[in-house]
C-alpha cells in the first residue's frame, strides 16, 4: 500500500511536468523557443514512457503532435 502510494505520487509529478512542458511548447512565442521547449518535453516524455508512466503509443502520439505544432508555427 505504501509503495503504490509513493509510486502514485512520483507518477503524478512526472505527468504534471510533462503537461507543463507541452503547454510551454504551445505558448512559445517564436519558432526557436518552441523548438527548444519541444526538445525538453520530448526528453521528459521518453523518460516517462521508458518507465511506463505513459503508454509508449501515447508518448509517440504526444511527440508527433508537438512536432507538427512546431513545424506549423510561424
Domain containing residue 33: CATH number: 1.20.58.110
**Total domain count, the chain:** 1
Give me the domain span that covers residue 43: 2-72
Reported as half-sphere exposure (CB side, CA atoms, 13 A), residue 19 has a value of 6
- CA dist 52 → 22, 34, 47, 48 (Å): 19, 26, 9, 6
Q: Which alpha helices (H) appear in the chain, and where do they start and end?
A: 2-27, 31-50, 56-72
Q: What is the pLDDT of residues 21-30, one digit of tens each?
A: 999 999 998 9
Query: In the prediction, which pLDDT does 15 show?
Result: 97
Mean pLDDT along residues 29-48: 95
- Provide the whole-model pTM: 0.88
Q: Which of 14, 43, 38, 11 is nearest to 27 (CA)?
A: 38
Amino acid at each position: 500500500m505504501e509503495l503504490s502510494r509513493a509510486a502514485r505520487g512520483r507518477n503524478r509529478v512526472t505527468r504534471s511536468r510533462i503537461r507543463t512542458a507541452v503547454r510551454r511548447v504551445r505558448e512559445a512565442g517564436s519558432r526557436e523557443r518552441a523548438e527548444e521547449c519541444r526538445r525538453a518535453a520530448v526528453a521528459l516524455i521518453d523518460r516517462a514512457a521508458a518507465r511506463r508512466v505513459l503508454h509508449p503509443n501515447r508518448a509517440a502520439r504526444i511527440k508527433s503532435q508537438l512536432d507538427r505544432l512546431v513545424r506549423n508555427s510561424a
